[in-house]
Amino acid sequence: MKKTGFLLLLAIAAWPAFAQQSFGWGVNLFPNISNRRLIAYSTITEQMIRDIEKREASKPSYAAHLFASWRGEKVGFQVGAGFANAGYRTVEEAIPINDPDFANAISRRFVFRNYNIEIPASLKFYQSLSDKDDFNFMLGTNLSYNLANDTLTVLYNDGTSSTRSVSDESDFRKINYAFTTGLGWEHRFSPKFTLILQPTFTFWIKALFKETEFTELNRNLYNFGVSVGFRFDRELE
């Protein structure tokens, strides 16, 4: 929460630079690749860590937000709310002979999916490229609330695949916050409509699971992708 407070203070301090030039609202689509950073405690050996790192990998994910923004000549502020699918997955592995799934497939992977409500907020610093194009640097934070989690098992057999999904009842952290940053390009098709393309990186500060004295492994989620925004603008008097 300290980073959220810092961003709000920074926005207040930068408010005079906005010069009340324009207000906008829109939708932001964020296809991305999400992954995890492993947190291992003293009971986990180096060999176990190496084995886990080889086994776990990134997965395609996505988020979508509605947002409102205020912009001056050089600085803007944006806040939104929306839904996100995040998580990670394992690599495809052969199924052991004594495993129940061996009767139905020869290999499988597990996909760990987390469903969250997100409230992102950010500052944008602009540099004009032309009358219709701007470059921006974004620095922000993201507050999330975990709605649900599940594990998808993908079974592979002779070129075909099947899936099954079960709810994950692990002790997930309900509220988390993230650091986010990106570099973007904005193009104004008209005074009232702007396209935004912004490669964006997000790292979640708190661990995925609640930490207790019995916690041996934990993970921080992060993602990287290209944020695509459509904004409808209105000049302020």
Average pLDDT over residues 162-179: 95
Residue 47 confidence (pLDDT) = 92
Query: Would you list the DSSP string of 94-135?
Result: EPPTTSGGGGT-SEEEEEEEEEEEEEEEEEEEEEE-SSSEEE
Rg (CA), the chain: 21
Contact 155, 110 (CB under 8 A): no
DSSP state of 212: -
Residue 100 in tokens: 């129940």
With a cut of 60, say whether residue 6 has pLDDT above it.
Answer: no
Q: What is the pLDDT of residues 195-210, one digit of tens each?
A: 999 999 999 999 999 9
Residue 158 confidence (pLDDT) = 87
With a cut of 70, say whether residue 102 has pLDDT above it.
Answer: yes
Give CA–CA dist 210/218, Å, rounded. Answer: 9
Q: Which of 14-18, 108-112, 161-165 has the lowest mean pLDDT?
A: 14-18
Average pLDDT over residues 142-163: 95
Give CA–CA dist 35/221, Å, rounded. Answer: 6
Please work out, in degrees rounded to the nearest 5, the angle formed at the alpha carbon of residue 11 by the alpha carbons of 5 and 13: 105
Average pLDDT over residues 46-66: 95
Sign of CA dihedral 121, 122, 128, 134: negative
Contact 134, 126 (CB under 8 A): yes
Average pLDDT over residues 47-59: 94
In the beta sheet, which residues pair with residue 63? 30, 84
Q: pTM above 0.95? A: no
Residue 25 in tokens: 């609202």
Q: How far apart are the first and last CA of the chain?
A: 34
With a cut of 60, say whether residue 174 has pLDDT above it.
Answer: yes
Kindly tell me the burial class for residue 107, based on how many C-beta atoms sit within 10 Å of its own C-beta (0-12, 13-18, 19 or more): middle
92 — phi, psi (to 5°)?
Answer: -70, 130
Residue 42 confidence (pLDDT) = 73
Average pLDDT over residues 98-125: 95
Residue 148 confidence (pLDDT) = 97
Place of tokens 């084995």: 51
